[in-house]
Amino acid sequence: MPVRKRFFAAPGQAPEIVRTFIRKLAQAAKRGRPPARADRRESILAAALQCFVERGFHGTAMPQIAERAEVAAGTIYHYFPSKEALVNELYRTWKGVVAQRVFEAFPQGAPPREQFRVMWLEIIAFARDEPAAFMFIETHNHASYLDAQSVALDRNLKNFARHMIGLAQAAGLVKPLEPTVLMELAFGAFVGMMRAHSEGRIALVPEVIAQAEQACWDMIATH
Amino acid sequence: MPVRKRFFAAPGQAPEIVRTFIRKLAQAAKRGRPPARADRRESILAAALQCFVERGFHGTAMPQIAERAEVAAGTIYHYFPSKEALVNELYRTWKGVVAQRVFEAFPQGAPPREQFRVMWLEIIAFARDEPAAFMFIETHNHASYLDAQSVALDRNLKNFARHMIGLAQAAGLVKPLEPTVLMELAFGAFVGMMRAHSEGRIALVPEVIAQAEQACWDMIATH
DNA sequence: ATTTATCGAACGAACGTTCAATCGATAACC
DNA sequence: GGTTATCGATTGAACGTTCGTTCGATAAAT
């Protein structure tokens, strides 16, 4: 059973990268949103998310988004200055949500094996709650229409994961490979499985999830 | 050192899926290409590949492809009936190349561990020889503009991989998870690593490749 | 009465595609 | 051998369409 400690057992060795991470997240949230005036805004965002997932950014026309959101095309421009701004807000919002969830669930004092499991299960939970949003942020990574702020948010998340891998390596639990390689391998495996799931090729029952999680740990762990 | 047997040690148990696979590949190659008349055709394909990788299918305009290929826009339509036909020919060609390479290198009589290693190294070799083509066929999987033939080619490849996993499971070497799940995990990890490589985030020196390959085997293997 | 929200027609630009004109090499003819 | 006919290859302007976006009119809210 997962034991989730939210504070460090030994405060002196608290990784500042975690505090930096949460601070940047808060900053981004402050900087972002103008005060939401109507739920039209939300329905436009939801419609755009679906369209972008189904047909991609360039494959989606603004009138299509408008039709799906049941508003006129011009209305979108009352809430968003451009198509680019719309996709960037979507990206930042959902990447922030998943980051927030992972960070809040993260058991800071727990052993690495437990940390890995919790992160894995939390992202799975997110992907099941918001399948479209998950596919969106995974397929639109590093696209040319993402602005600097969106890219920075992704980099922060990866720095966080890399740092955790480094700590586990120091404890001799994880293979002495470059942390970036291990992270990309593990996350790539995860995304591959989730993509197959969202395309209906596999069924994600709890038993499969647990076994896949163990398999991914086997990949990065020393044996 | 890899020992590559090209023929079955026991012909009676030769997997017909392999023969079916190579037969379909030959059929597709025959059906396809009209007699190549000029190397303009090749330069158009190369230009389109680069553009599609950099900006995606919908993000690439035909005049951009023409400019990169140093031909007039109209010339493209002398060789390809439409933009869709162009992207599908690209997909089928390169997916066929990687399939052919993997199959020819596949050591049919060797133990599963060796088979896995050879397949892995062969795809790595392809990805290093043709990085744009590799990224293209991986990012354009299951896109709406791919026709039935392109989709079928991908399915054949996956059936082949799944079949091999099934045999390895029967030998007790691979975890008793659903073969599709294992395949998606392993291939997802591979793609994640290759993507990080093509974005310059990791350097694929031989030592890293060997360790990553071992890590992926650890993921699907029993322990 | 003023501000805010919404609409949908309209805009210029750019899209994928077409096509009449031209080029260049080879074949046919004298 | 020089001239002409032929034909596929190539061009780039032009086509109709659709794109992202704008805007004036109107409705709703304050």
Extract the residue ranges of chain B whose pLDDT is less than 50.
1-13, 30-37
Closest to B216 in 3D by CA, of B176, B177, B189 = B189
Q: CB–CB of B177 and A215 under 8 A?
A: yes
Residue with token string 């290759």? B194
Q: Chain A closest CA to B104's CA: distance in Å?
A: 26
User: pLDDT tens digits, chain A, 223 residues: what are they?
Assistant: 444 434 344 444 456 666 676 666 666 554 444 444 558 999 999 999 999 999 999 999 999 999 999 999 999 999 999 999 999 999 999 999 999 999 999 999 999 999 999 999 999 999 999 999 999 999 998 889 998 888 888 888 899 999 999 999 999 999 999 999 999 999 999 999 999 999 999 999 999 999 999 999 999 999 8
- Which of the 8 DSSP states describes residue B174? B
Tell me what ipTM this predicted complex has: 0.85
Rounded Cα distance between B36 and A149, Å, is 47
Both tokens of B223, joined, read 């322990």
Name the residues contacting strand C (CB < 7 Å).
Answer: A 37-38, 40, 70-75, 78-79; B 60-64, 73-74, 76-77, 81-84
Q: How far is CA B126 from CA B14, B146, B157, in A?
A: 26, 22, 15
Q: CB–CB of A190 and B188 under 8 A?
A: yes
Find the length of chain B: 223
Q: Given CA atoms A119, B207, B140, A201 in this order, what sign does their dihedral have? A: negative
Work out if B72's Cβ lies within 7 angstroms of strand D.
yes
Q: Are B108 and B137 part of one and the same domain?
A: yes
Work out if B67's Cβ lies within 7 angstroms of strand D.
no
Inside any domain, residue B29: no
Going through chain A in order, the beta strands assigned E by DSSP cover none
Q: What's the number of domains chain B is made of?
A: 2
Exposed / middle / buried, residue B158 (Cβ in 10 Å: 0-12, 13-18, 19+): middle
Inside any domain, residue A61: no
Residue with token string 């389109």? B48
CATH number at residue B142: 1.10.357.10
Q: How many CB atoms lie within 10 A of CB B104?
A: 11
State the nearest residue by CA to the C1' of C15.
B61
CB A169 within 8 A of CB A112: no
Inside any domain, residue B7: no
Q: Output the pTM of the full model.
A: 0.85
Contacts of A180 in chain B (CB under 8 A): 196, 201-202
Rounded Cα distance between B21 and A196, Å, is 22
Query: Which of A:27-86 have CB within 8 Å of B?
Result: 54-59
pLDDT 10s digits, B78-126: 999 999 999 999 999 999 999 999 999 999 999 999 999 999 999 999 9
Residue with token string 């103008």? A34
Contacts of B179 in chain A (CB under 8 A): none
Q: Are B74 and B148 part of one and the same domain?
A: no
Q: Are B117 and B218 part of one and the same domain?
A: yes
Inside any domain, residue B120: yes
Rounded Cα distance between A25 and A99, Å, is 8
Q: Chain A closest CA to B67's CA: distance in Å?
A: 20
Work out if A63's Cβ lies within 7 angstroms of strand D.
yes
Q: Are B50 and B128 part of one and the same domain?
A: no
